Amino acid sequence: MEKITPFKDASTAISSLDNGGRFYNVFTRSQDDMISLAEVGKVAGLFLGKQKEMLYLELALTGLSDADKAIVQQKFDSDLADSYAKFKALRLSPAEIASKGIISSNVILSGIPKLVNSGTRLKGFILVPAGPAFTMLPISEIYDTYELSDPTGTAHFLIVTEKDKEKLPEQLITVGGILKESRDNDDAPADLFVEVSYYLA
C-alpha cells in the first residue's frame, strides 16, 4: 500500500507520465506526446499488473479538473486507453459497496479507517505462493483489517492492508483497491472486503 500525491495540473501529469518507461521499453520515448502502459508502470513503481496500474493512474488524476483530465487522457496510446476503460474504478461509499460493488474490480472509497481485530472480523483464508505450490493462510495473518466508516459514522465496510505496511491514519482518507471475498468454509456466507493498494490523505 502506498500513499499517492495527486497531480495538480495537466502539464505536471503529462511531464511525469510521458517518461519513456524503463530502459528495456525500447518502443517508448520520453516526451513524445504519447503516454503508454509502460510509462504508467514506471511512475507507479510496478512491473506487471494493468489493473493496479490503472488504479494508480485514476487516483493520481483525481486532483485534476475535468478539462485537465481530458487533456491528459488525449495523450493515452490505444493500449492505455483500452486498459483505463476496462479497469475503471467504481467510486462507492461504504454504504453502497456491498450492493453495488463487483468482485475483483477496482473500487475507490472515502471514509475514516479504524484498526480492528483481524481474526474476529475476517475469518477466511487466502491462497499464497509457497515454492511451486500454494498454501492456505488465514487472512488475519497476512492483513491488518480496518473498518472504514463514512463521515457520519452510520455506514461501515472492511478494508485490509498488508501487515508489513504503514498503518492508515484515523482520519478522512480516500482508498483505492480491489473488492474481494473470502469464506470460512464453502457453506458460509462470503465476507466482502477491499484489499487496499493506494490511499490519498
For domain 91-200, give its CATH number from 3.40.50.1000, 2.40.50.140, 2.40.50.180, 3.40.50.300. 2.40.50.140
CA angle 39–42–44, rounded 5-degree value: 110
pLDDT at 28: 72
Domain ranges for the chain: 2-88, 91-200
CA 61 to mean position of chain CA atoms: 13
Cα separation, 151 vs 157, in Å, equals 12
Residues 159-172 have pLDDT tens digits of 999 988 889 999 99
CA distance 195 to 170: 17
Beta strands in the chain (DSSP E): 2-3, 90-91, 106-116, 125-130, 133-138, 143-149, 156-162, 173-182, 191-200
From the first residue on, what is the mean pLDDT of each consecutive set of 10 residues in the chain (201 residues)?
A: 93 86 64 84 80 95 96 95 96 94 96 85 76 84 91 90 90 96 73 92 71
* pTM reported for the whole predicted model: 0.86
Rounded (10°) CA dihedral 152, 158, 164, 170: 10
Q: Which three cell numbers stand for residue 36?
A: 503508454
